Structure 1
Amino acid sequence: MKSRPPVPMGAPRRVDLLNCADEPIHVPGSIQPHGALIFFSAAGELEGWSENAAATLALPLEPGRPYTGLGLPDEVAELVRECLDGMSEGEAAPMVAAIVIGDAEYDCVVHAYQGRAIAEFEARELATDTVAQFAIKAHGSIDRLRRQKTVDALLETAVRQVREFTGFDRVMAYRFRADDSGDVVAEARRDDLTPYLGQRYPAGDIPPQARRLYVLNTLRMIADVTYHAVPLLGMEGSAALDMSQAVLRSVSPIHIEYLQNMGVGASMSVSIVINGRLWGLLACHHMGPKRVPYSIRMAADVLAQVIASTLQGLESRQDAELVGRAAAVRTSLVESLLLEEDPLETLVQHADGLMASTDAQALVATQYGRVVCRGIEQACGEAIVATLPEGAHELLARHCLDDWPEQARASLGKWTGMLGLPFDPPSEGWCVLLRPEQVERVAWGGKPDKSQCGPMGERLTPRGSFEAWIETVRGCAHPWEDGVLTHARMTLGELARVSNARRAQTESTRAQLLAMLGHDLRDPLHSINMAGMVLEKTDAGNKSGTLGRRIQSSSNRMQRMIGQVLDMSRIDRGLELGVALVPVDLAALVQDMVEEAQLAYPTIVYALRIDDPAVVMADGGRLGQVLSNLLSNARHHGEPNQPIEVRLRHEDGQAAIVVANAGAPIPHEIESGLFNPFKRSSLNNPRNRTGMGLGLYIAQQIVREHGGEIAYRHEAGGAGASGGRVVFTVRLPLALEE
């Protein structure tokens, strides 16, 4: 049965900058013309070949014929056999042999990929002995590279050595950034060529699929950018040949056009791969066509592997030094935090070490609303703290102005880089490290504009000019390096452990204190109170009676304070205060509390008004505690010689108790924490020296356990110097009528 004729294995398609990112460059369906290619199935049967293979190799090519029946040179047949026998998971490493076909010398490279054995015959212009001399020279460069102590010196040596043994007009070392753009960091060139050193090339110059191939196949050569591709032929219905590892693979027309726009006639690129990541490239350019024999290219590839290994060693040493410095800073910081009482002051004391180990230039620390700064103005530090999210537990990194909340950007000053460590979320404790905006003048390799017309006609093409195009970049700080981020996470972990340890110790101490307050002090205070009563009654009207009253007053005040602390402890532990709900005549309760206050403070006027009767389900003792606190606050914080108004009425189907005193509005910063414990406004109030700021905190919890709410407002106008009233309203649900 006569076999079917071979058919082209890849159809050309229109490619431009709009779709080049989707171009399947690993299956181009063609090769460069300075060689020929044939490929076989895993069974060793011929599947396809390049259109020029029959004439170049002088072989009878027929689909399905075994490689042993093609009349291949013995060296080639042996390589194909070894490749097929050694195939593992469809792959085999390249093997090479120098052969002669007719009057021409070839490097035959055989490898396996995706279950196919591929034999490439690359024409060689240089004699074998000349190639050997170049290869020896290349291997002699390895020792020079290994002796370099810095990244810059290593790459400078590399470009000089590669240019020396390959003969390219220009050899550049690219180093890629985190955003995949690349900088030319070293260059060896012909004297008459325009230097590209220091220029940056955008990430779009190398699309993602090309980056993948740079990692997979670390060396690629284009012998002549003006070449006409030779199509592959294969059996009808055969899958396209994956040429990811091939040396003759045809390249993207977009890349050819890019090189032509640069004035390049031939190119070779060698990948620098570290831990599976494309770290950089050695890019070699020649102004005319140029072939570099396979063995010399492999020497360059080995050189790139030596460069990668040396770079990895240099970076590892730098990382180790950073880790050592950072560990010393963490150890010292943790030791101080365990000994010192104030975490914020401790952080400021260690600010220099923290900033040096993270390459930051300012530090802001905050906890419980307090903000301390180092290297930055207080107002700016407070503005930065205001942007921190509540309840965060993870490291927060910001790099550019766009990473910040829009409303805060105007108040940041020069600080655009932030590394936030939330070391104690319950207290909103943060350690914030800052970097300033880095105003950078970037020399791009040509203005990255797009043209509609290039060497291939009217289509969207790569930029035509590669002269340096300067752009000033603002609004971004130097990005936080991986090593710095790792150190910051470890520091955050240490700070969090210290905070948790301090919190546990505080809780233990508080529990012991509360136990003492609840048991060891209450009984003695009760005895003191009883003794005061006896003393007052025994010697009423004289000095001893007055002393007895003072003893009673002081002991009663101490008992109230102990009661408040114990109530606060129950609330903090998530326990309810415990209210026994029974029907309570609210009008009678309010009247009793006002009368009690009038007796205790006869110089103060209490204006009581009961508009509506009200019965609520309540704990009378606890509600009395709420009213007592509101009356006490009005007495201590209201304007002197002004009446305190108390009113009971119905509002929206609820009972409302209103307590008002003449006074100015409560400042906004105090209002936001009005129902928090231990308020500074209470602790420092000269008219209420014994207050701890717990009253409203406990009152709110009592009202909530009754299903009600307590609220503050200020009413303008009225008597008094302030011209307004401070009003607290307690709303409780009315009892259902039976």
Structure 2
Amino acid sequence: MLNHNEVDLNNCDREPIHIPGQIQSHGFLIVIDHNYTIRYHSDNISVFVEGIGNNLLGRSINDVELLIGQNEPKDFISQLISFGKKNGFEQTNPFTTDVQGNPFYLVISPTDDYYLLEFEPATSDLSIDIQKMIGRSISEMLADKNLQHLLDNAARQVKQIIRYDRVMIYRFADDGHGEVISEAKNDDLDPWVGLHYPASDIPKQARELYKLNLTRLIANVHTAPSKIITAADNSIPLDLTPSQLRAVSPIHIQYLKNMGVDSSFSISLIYKKELWGLIACHNYTPRFIDYKSRESSKLIGQILSSALEFRQDEENQQITQRYKVAIDQISKYLLKSISIEDALTQQEVTILDTTNASGVILLYENNTIKIGQTPNDNQIEDLLNWIKDNLGDSFHFTNNLSSVYPAAAAYKDIASGLMISVLSREMNEYVLWFKPEQIQTIKWAGNPEKPAEVAANGLMQISPRKSFGEWTQKVSGTSINWSNEEIKSAARLREEITYAINQKASAIRLLNDKLKQAYEELDAFSSTISHDLKNPLSTIKSYAQILTRNGNLEPKTQRIMERIMVGADKMNVMINEVLDYSRIGRSEVQNKRVEMEPIINDLVRDLKVAYNAPDAIVNIGDMPDIYGDPVMIAQVFANLISNAIKYAIPSGTPTVGIAGKLTETGVIYTISDNGIGIDIQYLPKVFELFGRLENARDIEGSGVGLSIVKRIIEKHHGKVWVDSELSKGSTFYVEFFYKHNI
């Protein structure tokens, strides 16, 4: 129990719902290890199996299975497990059997150490055959291309199939709270469309389980759960993550009771491997749906998820294309002989067109150019001072500026949303986009603050709210969120501006003294790395190698020595890459025509061997020649193809695409993969030195390779940019220009 100071909504996020220690009582559970010995079971087995006894722990499943499946062949459970291990347990689940004359389904779920054997009735409270209705219902559900109509159709079809009193489409927001965006209900029920529910109603760990278990049945909130028993000396709680019968959090049970709901059933809706929402079904009397019917219902969720993804991607593609056209046009302006400011702000297409902002400011070469609705000059000056003092990143965005910069509350009707792209922090050059306040009136289903109440022992505890009457909240100071498409567009625009600035820098922006000083420091740094770091590192590795030859070392000490050598090798690689990075800045480009086909083919062959990825699929298209330095060009493609293969390996079927195409001014190569992708918030930082991403921490790398790529491309007066989505893969673009265009 919690004391008063510990009671907050975060406690709901920490509730261990995957190890509840009990199951719903409409079925029973036996858990066996890999030797088929019973290690856990629910305490209600004797309710379903007469004469089986109350304690099966330590017995072989083969000894008791005849009492469970009297009409099954000997060792049928071990045979099912062997078949499932070879062919997948989705091929065996559910296995239809009988438990003392009653039809039951057996569902087998493997875990790291055990097999969960779940037995539940093969009968349902539904009077119809769900599987026969699925096909027609899906056809009707997908008949309309409008997204809202699609959701409304889905709710109606699911209600018609499972006959629950209320079926809702429940969508999660970025902060975890949910909203009912569609429903089909009995006529006597109040409508819930438009009602919001706080994130604590379905806390984070529950949302994670919904991604793993695509359906979830709570058959009767009024029945007592059955406890799971295990040996007295076993203190490890049983992980019921894959379980169908997993008991429900007491807080959630009370929550449903407070709503008057006796039974609930949910179907997960997944968008790009994340939980988009639920088909949430409520019934005001107990309702049991058998396993096969739940699996058929899961198919509806999977098809609706695919339809949602298709519709959403279609909309996103239209937006992306609109921004791409704008940036392509701006890029053409920048390549002309007009000034940077005029190219960005004075043409038919401007930087305002690259996002859905209502205003934008370009701060460049001590000039401030405004387009659309923006704060006044004094407000801009104060805002810039705050940005310089508080934001260190080269890219930043928020839809609630006044929450981090209170002075912005004075002009929230113009700038509640802010996106910042830093062109040069030293020279105070930025692009700032603004979005106005969008006042929202949110209708909550009851007060969203989950209250604490005094328990019988006098201590405070979390308690689900009892009232679900509409509770209105007015939200001000926020704008419409910056979309992924807008963020990608802003990142691409910065690359185009940086490229144009670099092209013009030789005439108007050279800072000779600082550059000279920077090169001198870089030379000194390189020398320090070569001598002061590499030599001691070699010594460390040599001593470790000598020690490993001592046959008297304990295994633990031997492993430590091996780790020292591996660490020394990694540090040596990083030092060499930093040296490469510094040398590129001082190297002269030896321009000539570079034949790309042998370079790419050799790299692909060698990298497949280096990463032990013989089955990696590498699709190679046209490979036009490039004008540049052969050694540097090879280094660029070695880094990009190496990354593509390395980060695609976790996908299971690594697939890489390499292709070049001729343009009016040069050649553009694309290197794509189906790997782990890049989180949208890190996209503008991928070419920064030591820019390792959070989702790549477990993959070997130094964070220098892409910085080297960018430096080489800049030496060739070319361009490099990236497009990526988390868990979907990345595409890198490198553009080289013809000799006469450099």
TM-score scaled by length of structure 2: 0.62
Q: Specify the code of the residue in structure 2 equivalent to 1:58.
A: E
Return 439-448 or 355-364, whichever deviates more: 355-364
Counterpart of 2:467 in structure 1 is 465
Question: Any residues of structure 2 matched to 1:137-152 within 5 Å, and which?
Answer: 137-152=133-148
Cα distance in 1 for partners of 2:220, 2:494 equals 56
Offset at 1:352? 5.9
Offset at 1:335? 1.0
Cα distance in 2 for partners of 1:389, 1:218 equals 47
Offset at 1:504? 2.8
Cα distance in 2 for partners of 1:248, 1:570 equals 72
Q: Secondary structure at the match of 1:325?
A: helix
Offset at 1:282? 0.9
Pick the aligned partner of 2:195 from 177, 192, 199. 199
Q: Secondary structure at the match of 2:244?
A: coil
Q: Does structure 2 conserve the Cα–Cα contact (< 8 Å) formed by 1:218 and 1:270?
A: yes
Q: Does structure 1 conserve the Cα–Cα contact (< 8 Å) formed by 2:329 and 2:349?
A: no
Pick the aligned partner of 1:65 from 47, 52, 59. 59
Task: Give deviations 1:479-520, integer Å, cap 9, x for gaps.
Answer: 21122112211111111111111213546xx8xxxxxxxxxx
Cα distance in 2 for partners of 1:176, 1:475 equals 21
Cα distance in 2 for partners of 1:22, 1:290 equals 29
Counterpart of 2:104 in structure 1 is 106
> Are 1:295 and 2:301 counterparts?
no
Cα distance in 1 for partners of 2:125, 2:214 equals 25
Question: Any residues of structure 2 matched to 1:339-378 within 5 Å, and which?
Answer: 339-349=336-346, 354-376=351-373, 378=376
Offset at 1:469? 0.8
Query: Runs of at least 4 residues of structure 1 off by over 6 A?
Result: 14-18, 88-94, 390-393, 454-458
Q: Does structure 2 conserve the Cα–Cα contact (< 8 Å) formed by 1:223 and 1:266?
A: yes
For residues 91 and 454 of structure 1, do their structure 2 counterparts lie closer, same or farther at Cα, with a shift above 3 Å needed? farther
Q: Secondary structure at the match of 1:195?
A: coil
Offset at 1:144? 3.1
Q: Specify the code of the residue in structure 2 equivalent to 1:306.
A: I
Q: Does structure 2 conserve the Cα–Cα contact (< 8 Å) formed by 1:135 and 1:299?
A: yes
Task: Give deviations 1:297-338, integer Å, cap 9, x for gaps.
Answer: 111111111111121122222222222111111110011122
The runs of 5 or more residues in structure 1 that have no matched partner are 1-10, 511-568, 577-738
> Are 1:318 and 2:315 counterparts?
yes
Question: Any residues of structure 2 matched to 1:248-287 within 5 Å, and which?
Answer: 248-287=245-284
Q: Does structure 1 conserve the Cα–Cα contact (< 8 Å) formed by 2:402 and 2:408?
A: no
Counterpart of 1:123 in structure 2 is 121
Q: Specify the code of the residue in structure 1 equivalent to 2:443.
A: A
Cα distance in 2 for partners of 1:89, 1:453 equals 51
Counterpart of 1:501 in structure 2 is 503
Counterpart of 2:478 in structure 1 is 476
Q: Specify the code of the residue in structure 1 equivalent to 2:494.
A: L
For residues 233 and 369 of structure 1, do their structure 2 counterparts lie closer, same or farther at Cα, with a shift above 3 Å needed? same
Cα distance in 1 for partners of 2:272, 2:338 equals 45
Counterpart of 2:422 in structure 1 is 422
Return 239-248 or 89-98, whichever deviates more: 89-98
Offset at 1:64? 2.6
Q: Specify the code of the residue in structure 1 equivalent to 2:485.
A: G
Q: Secondary structure at the match of 1:220?
A: strand
Counterpart of 2:625 in structure 1 is none
Return 488-497 or 94-103, whichever deviates more: 94-103
Cα distance in 1 for partners of 2:351, 2:302 equals 36
Q: Secondary structure at the match of 1:495?
A: helix
Cα distance in 2 for partners of 1:229, 1:457 equals 23
> Are 1:159 and 2:159 counterparts?
no
Q: Does structure 2 conserve the Cα–Cα contact (< 8 Å) formed by 1:224 and 1:290?
A: yes
Q: Does structure 2 conserve the Cα–Cα contact (< 8 Å) formed by 1:90 and 1:115?
A: no
Q: Specify the code of the residue in structure 1 equivalent to 2:399.
A: H
Cα distance in 2 for partners of 1:450, 1:264 equals 19
Q: Secondary structure at the match of 1:279?
A: strand
Cα distance in 2 for partners of 1:243, 1:315 equals 34
Cα distance in 2 for partners of 1:190, 1:80 equals 46
Q: Secondary structure at the match of 2:180?
A: strand
Q: Does structure 1 conserve the Cα–Cα contact (< 8 Å) formed by 2:106 and 2:119?
A: yes
Counterpart of 1:134 in structure 2 is 130
Offset at 1:127? 8.9
Offset at 1:572? 6.6
Cα distance in 2 for partners of 1:89, 1:103 equals 29
Q: Does structure 2 conserve the Cα–Cα contact (< 8 Å) formed by 1:398 and 1:404?
A: no
The runs of 5 or more residues in structure 2 that have no matched partner are 519-742
Cα distance in 1 for partners of 2:88, 2:230 equals 19
Q: Percent identity?
A: 26
Q: Specify the code of the residue in structure 1 equivalent to 2:297.
A: A
For residues 262 and 356 of structure 1, do their structure 2 counterparts lie closer, same or farther at Cα, with a shift above 3 Å needed? farther
> Are 1:95 and 2:89 counterparts?
no
Pick the aligned partner of 1:492 from 484, 491, 494. 494
For residues 93 and 440 of structure 1, do their structure 2 counterparts lie closer, same or farther at Cα, with a shift above 3 Å needed? farther
Cα distance in 2 for partners of 1:575, 1:31 equals 70
Offset at 1:174? 1.1
Q: Secondary structure at the match of 1:120?
A: strand
What is the aligned-residue RMSD (CA, Å)?
A: 3.3
Q: Does structure 1 conserve the Cα–Cα contact (< 8 Å) formed by 2:158 and 2:167?
A: yes
For residues 284 and 412 of structure 1, do their structure 2 counterparts lie closer, same or farther at Cα, with a shift above 3 Å needed? closer
Q: Secondary structure at the match of 1:188?
A: strand
Q: Specify the code of the residue in structure 2 equivalent to 1:469.
A: W
Offset at 1:83? 2.1
Task: Give deviations 1:374-402, integer Å, cap 9, x for gaps.
Answer: 12255355554554428967222132133
Q: Specify the code of the residue in structure 1 equivalent to 2:481.
A: P
Cα distance in 2 for partners of 1:125, 1:381 equals 68
Q: Secondary structure at the match of 1:95?
A: coil
Q: Does structure 2 conserve the Cα–Cα contact (< 8 Å) formed by 1:269 and 1:284?
A: yes
Offset at 1:286? 0.2
Q: Specify the code of the residue in structure 1 equivalent to 2:185.
A: R
For residues 105 and 251 of structure 1, do their structure 2 counterparts lie closer, same or farther at Cα, with a shift above 3 Å needed? same
Counterpart of 1:230 in structure 2 is 226
Cα distance in 1 for partners of 2:451, 2:411 equals 41
Q: Does structure 2 conserve the Cα–Cα contact (< 8 Å) formed by 1:262 and 1:466?
A: yes
Counterpart of 1:183 in structure 2 is 179
Cα distance in 2 for partners of 1:115, 1:487 equals 48
Q: Give the aligned length.
A: 503
Task: Give deviations 1:168-207, integer Å, cap 9, x for gaps.
Answer: 0001111111111111111111111111101111112122
Counterpart of 1:78 in structure 2 is 76
> Max radius of gyration: which structure?
1
Q: Does structure 1 conserve the Cα–Cα contact (< 8 Å) formed by 2:354 and 2:490?
A: no
Offset at 1:101? 2.9
Counterpart of 1:38 in structure 2 is 30
Task: Give deviations 1:633-658, integer Å, cap 9, x for gaps.
Answer: xxxxxxxxxxxxxxxxxxxxxxxxxx
Q: Does structure 1 conserve the Cα–Cα contact (< 8 Å) formed by 2:413 and 2:437?
A: no
Q: Specify the code of the residue in structure 2 equivalent to 1:109.
A: V
Pick the aligned partner of 2:210 from 198, 210, 214. 214
Counterpart of 1:327 in structure 2 is 324
